[in-house]
Each structure stands twice: as C-alpha cells, then as structure tokens.
Structure 1
Amino acid sequence: MQLELRHLRVICAIADAGSLSRAATTIGVSQPALTAQLQRVEGTLGGQLFRRGRLGVTPTPFGQFMLTRARSILLAVDELITGTGAHESRPDVARIGGYVTPMLSGLLSRLFKVLDMPITVHTEYSPRLLLDLLASRRLDAATLVDYPGNELPVVPSVGMHLVATEPVFVLLSSSHPLAEEEEVRLADLADDDWVISPPDGVGWPECVYSACRDAGFSPRVPHSMTEQAMIRQLVAGGHAVAPCQATVQDGPGVVVRPLAGTPLWLRHLVAWRRSGPLADRARELTEFAAEAHHEAIGERPHYTAWLARNGGVTTPR
C-alpha cells in the first residue's frame, strides 16, 4: 500500500479521539473498516502505532514519532492548499519571516514596540525560500542573507535593501591549537573535520568549498546539520570546526575567530512586499534592521576587534 495524506489524517484522528470507535464516528466510517485501515498503515510503516487497551488507544513510541511528522506534513500541506495562509484576509496582521540572525531578533523586538497590529513570525533556513514566500504573498517582510557573487535575484514585487556585508568567521573548540590566535589561516584547518550546514539555495556551502579549494585543500565534512546547539556541541567536544556568522557568540567550550585574509563574506538584507501592510514603513524596517545588526556587533568583542584591525572595512576588498 502506498502511504497517502488521508492515511496521515487517519492516524492523527485516532490519536486525537483516543479510541478507534470515537475516531470512526468522527471520520464517518465503521470501526471495523477503520481498524483494517490502521492495520494496513501500520504494515506499510513497519511498526505498531497505537497500543489498544480497555480505555482506548495510546501512541507507542514509534507512533509518537510518526504523529509528530504526520502533523508537520499536514500543516505544511494545509498551508499550501490555503495559498497565502490564514492571515491573507487580514491586512492588519504583519507576517515577518527571516533567516535566524541577531538582526532578525533585534528587528522583531523593535517592531513589537511600534507596530499597532499583531505580528506573526516564520523562520526558514533557506533565504531563497523566504524570498519566494514574500513574492507569493505569504510573508510581508523578512530578513535575508546571501553571498557576494551569489546574490538573491531581483523580484519586482519585493523591495530589498542591503543592511551590511560582513566576514564569515570560524567556530573552534577552546582547546583547539589555534584557539589563542588572533586570526586563523583557512589552510591551517585542512586537517580538521568540519561541520557545515546544508545548501541554503543561494550559494552556501558552495562558497565555503570554493574558499577551501583556493586555500589548497578540500574540507573533510563528516557532519551536516543546521541545529546551532548541536554544532556548538560538536565543536566544543573537539570533533569539528565550523564556519559561522561573525555575530555568533563565544560560549562554553567554543571560541569564534576571524579567518585571515577574509576569504568568505556574507550579506544581510531586509526585504518587504511592495503591496503589503509594511510597504510604507520600508525605511523604518531598514533602520531597525541596521540598528539591530550594529547592536549585535557591539556585543561581540571578536568582531569589534576585527573591525578595529581592518579600519572598519565592511565590504570585500
């Protein structure tokens, strides 16, 4: 049997009802038919989803695993089916998206103070996806990143402003032999394992591999993930090094160091939908984003020290 969306809805309905009989009534089928369908789904998935008892059914650990993913899939599909989402008919709602950076959090803290409308927040790893969400009217404004030479495309319905161009640094274990250096040569990391986040649709991590090739090596990358806490844990344990935003903070077991010669750069942008509720506040969005980014720099000694050594240079040479 091929798993379909209706099967995921059945799984969720059973979990919500807490019994096969109540779920059957909700769905509008007989209990024997629902039981048979559940058995086919379990056979397809290769595991038992629910434990049956006198008081009803409860998810097994495998069932809870599947339910989490089923609900996520159904939510995403429902958003696609409803097009622009539940807030399209409410122009008084500001839908803010972003690639997770201190600039996004700082922008949001300012917007919550000044906007006289509700705000919803949606983050994504891919800046290209965020741009598509703006163009398709699913977001009203967003913070984005891209890379010199791999800039995001121009979209007529979306306004965009460059807030800052900054270097990409490297995250090291505090016990790494180079942790005490003021700057680290990329070539000196050739023998390290790397943890690098997966492609984001606008040139990452291709720009990292290109810079490493220019430095004379191909990085050994046994780890790929986006979860920052896990990346920091791997690095702190001495299991890998990782490229990182310059505004990443030092922390227990890890240090942030600039790369000598600055072979990698990142651009921070703010974007808005030209026909959206924030279009007339584009200048304010840009100013708030710039303030938030500047504030983050001031809280990162490794970044302010780099700026001082480089005469405040914020563009690739």
Structure 2
Amino acid sequence: MQVELRHLRVICAIADAGSLSRAANAVGVSQPALTAQLQRVEGALSGQIFRRGRRGVTPTPFGQFVLTRARSILLAVDELVTGAGAYDGRSDLARIGGYVTPLLSGLVARLFTMPGLTITVHTEYSPRLLLDLLASRRLDAATLVDYPGNELPAAPSVGMRLVATEPVFVLMSSGHPLAGQEEVELADLAGDDWVISPPDGVGWPECVYSACQKAGFVPRVPHSMTEHAMIRQLVAGGHAISPCQATVQDGPGIVVRPLAGTPLWLRHLVAWRRDGPLAQRAEELAEVAAQAHREAIADRPHYAAWIARNGAAQTPG
C-alpha cells in the first residue's frame, strides 16, 4: 500500500481524539473500518504507531516520529493549497517574511505595536523564495538580502526599497591567532576551515568564493549549514571560521572581525506587495526597517567601530 495524505490525516485524527471510536466519529467512518485502515498504514510503514489500551490509544515512540512528520507534511500541503488567497481582502492582517536577521526581528517588533494591524511571521532562508512568495500573494511584506552584482530581479507586483548596504565580516574563535586584530586580511584566512551556508538563490556563497579567489586561494569548506547555533558552536570551538553579516552578535568564545578592504558586501532590502495591506504604508515600512537596522548597529560595537573608521555604510565602488 502506498501511504497518501488521507492516511496521514487519519493517524493525526486518531492521535488528536485519543481513541479509535472517537476518531471514527470525527472522520465519519465505522470503527472497524478505521482500525483496518490504521493497520494497513502501520504495515506500510513497518511499525506500530499506537498502543491500544482500555483508556484509548497512545503513540509509540515510532508513532511520535511518524506523527511529527505527518503534521509537518500536512501543514506544508495546506499552506501550499490555501496560502495564496486565505487572507486576501483583510486590511488588518500583514503577513511578514524574511531571513532571520536583527533587521527582521526589529521590524517585526515595531509592526506589532502598530494599532489596527495583526502580524504573522514566516521565515525562509532563500531571498529569491521570499520574493516569489510575495509575488504569489503568500506574503505581504518581507525583508530581503542580495549582493552587489547579484541583485534580486524586479517583480511588477512587488515594491522594493534599499535599507542599507553593509560589509560582510568574519566570525572566528576568540582564540584564533588573528582575533586580536582590528581588521583581518582575507588572504590570511586561506589556511582555515570554513563553515559557509548553502546557496540562497541570489549569489551566496558564490560571492564568497569569488572574493577568496581574488585574494589568491580557494576556501576549504568541510561544513555547510544554516543553523546559527551550530555555526557558532563550531566557530567557538576553533573548528572553523564563517563569513557573517556585520550585525551578527559576538559572544562567549566568539569575535566578529571586519575584512580589510571590505571585499564582500550585501544589501538589506524591504519589499511589499503593491496591492497588499501595507502598500499605502510603504514609506513608513521602509523607515521602520531603517530604524531597526540602525538599532542593530548601535548594539554591535564591532560594527559601530568599523563605521567610525570608515564612515557610514556605503555602496561599493
């Protein structure tokens, strides 16, 4: 038997009801029919999903694994099917997207305080995907990043405003031989292991490899991941260095250092649907995003010091 979405909905219904009889009533079938269907699903997955008892059913450890995956799959499918139009027409709801950055968190915190506006938040790693979600009416506004020379394409239905252009820094262990320097030459990192996040669809990490090649080396990259906590763990342990946004926070065992000559840049942007609930507040949205970015800079001494030496963040020439 091939497991289908309807089978996943059945096992979720059984877990939610806590008994086969209640679940049968909820899905509108007889209890024997539901029991037979559950047995077929368990056979197809080669494991028992529920333990039966006098008080009902409880998931087995394998069942917990299956239920976690099933709920995730169903949520994604439901979002795919209904996401485009589920909230259209609601002028009080703004669906905000973005990659997890201080700019996004600062923007969302400010939007939550706006009267008469309800906020939902959706994060994604790829700026290109976020732009597609805006164009397909699944988001109303988003914070995006791209890279000079690899700018995001224009979308007729989406407005976009540059918030800031800023340098890319490097995250390294506080015990790194270069950690005490004010700025680090990119070429001096040729002998390090790197952890670099995977392609985001708009030029990362291709821009990193290009900058390293111009500095005379190809980076050694044994680690690839997007999880911030794991990246910081590897770096703090002295196992790797990592390129990072200038607004990344340092911490125990970790320092953030500028790259001498600023060979890498990124752009922060805010975008919105031209027919969405924030279209008439685009100027306000852009200003709120800029405030959030300025606040993040003020809270990052390494970035504030770089600006004091180099002037305000500027577009690379």
TM-score, normalised via structure 2 length: 0.93
- Tell me whether 1:216 sits opposite 2:216 in the alignment: yes
Contact between 2:195 and 2:223, CA under 8 Å: does it hold in 1? Answer: yes
Once structures 1 and 2 are overlaid, which stretch shifts more, 271-280 or 83-92? 83-92
**Structure 1 residue 85: Cα displacement:** 4.5
Q: Which amino acid aligns with 2:101?
A: T
Alignment correspondent of 1:22: 22
Alignment correspondent of 2:37: 37
Contact between 2:90 and 2:277, CA under 8 Å: does it hold in 1? Answer: no
Map residues 104-119 of structure 1 onto 2, 5 A cutoff.
104-119=104-119
Contact between 1:172 and 1:235, CA under 8 Å: does it hold in 2? Answer: yes
Once structures 1 and 2 are overlaid, which stretch shifts more, 105-114 or 285-294? 105-114
Contact between 1:92 and 1:277, CA under 8 Å: does it hold in 2? Answer: yes
Alignment correspondent of 1:136: 136
Any stretches of 5+ residues in structure 2 without a counterpart?
none
Contact between 2:272 and 2:282, CA under 8 Å: does it hold in 1? Answer: yes
Q: Which amino acid aligns with 1:18?
A: G
Alignment correspondent of 1:230: 230
Partners of 1:94 and 1:84 in 2: CA distance: 13
Question: RMSD value over aligned CA atoms?
Answer: 1.8
TM-score, normalised via structure 1 length: 0.93
**Structure 1 residue 83: Cα displacement:** 4.0
Alignment correspondent of 1:94: 94
Alignment correspondent of 1:189: 189
Alignment correspondent of 1:180: 180
Q: Which amino acid aligns with 1:178?
A: L
Partners of 1:260 and 1:43 in 2: CA distance: 61
Please give the secondary structure, in 1, of the residue aligned with 2:8: helix
**Structure 1 residue 273: Cα displacement:** 0.9
Alignment correspondent of 2:155: 155
Partners of 2:17 and 2:185 in 1: CA distance: 59
**Structure 1 residue 311: Cα displacement:** 3.2
CA 1:277–1:236: 2 relative to 1, 3 Å: same
Please give the secondary structure, in 1, of the residue aligned with 2:240: coil
Alignment correspondent of 2:61: 61
Contact between 1:79 and 1:85, CA under 8 Å: does it hold in 2? Answer: no
Partners of 2:168 and 2:46 in 1: CA distance: 44
Any stretches of 5+ residues in structure 1 without a counterpart?
none
Contact between 1:49 and 1:62, CA under 8 Å: does it hold in 2? Answer: yes
Partners of 1:233 and 1:46 in 2: CA distance: 37
TM-superposition CA deviations, 1:200-226 (whole Å, max 9, x none)? 221112222222222233323232222
Once structures 1 and 2 are overlaid, which stretch shifts more, 17-26 or 276-285? 17-26
**Structure 1 residue 39: Cα displacement:** 3.3
Please give the secondary structure, in 2, of the residue aligned with 1:200: coil
TM-superposition CA deviations, 1:59-109 (whole Å, max 9, x none)? 222322222221121112112211425322422212222222111122222
Q: Which amino acid aligns with 1:134?
A: L
Partners of 1:35 and 1:173 in 2: CA distance: 56
Partners of 2:53 and 2:195 in 1: CA distance: 46
Partners of 1:42 and 1:240 in 2: CA distance: 44
Partners of 2:46 and 2:182 in 1: CA distance: 54
Please give the secondary structure, in 2, of the residue aligned with 1:96: strand
Once structures 1 and 2 are overlaid, which stretch shifts more, 66-75 or 162-171? 66-75
Q: Which amino acid aligns with 1:38?
A: L
**Structure 1 residue 112: Cα displacement:** 2.3
Contact between 2:164 and 2:313, CA under 8 Å: does it hold in 1? Answer: no
TM-superposition CA deviations, 1:43-69 (whole Å, max 9, x none)? 433433222323222122232222222
TM-superposition CA deviations, 1:109-161 (whole Å, max 9, x none)? 22222342222222211111111111111221111111111111100111101
Partners of 1:145 and 1:306 in 2: CA distance: 21
Map residues 238-253 of structure 1 onto 2, 5 A cutoff.
238-253=238-253
Please give the secondary structure, in 2, of the residue aligned with 1:114: coil
Alignment correspondent of 1:3: 3
Segments of 4+ in structure 1 off by > 6 A?
none
Map residues 244-283 of structure 1 onto 2, 5 A cutoff.
244-283=244-283
Partners of 2:288 and 2:127 in 1: CA distance: 19
Contact between 2:165 and 2:313, CA under 8 Å: does it hold in 1? Answer: no
Q: Percent identity?
A: 82
Partners of 1:51 and 1:170 in 2: CA distance: 51
Partners of 2:235 and 2:48 in 1: CA distance: 38
Alignment correspondent of 1:298: 298
Partners of 2:181 and 2:232 in 1: CA distance: 19
Please give the secondary structure, in 1, of the residue aligned with 2:164: strand
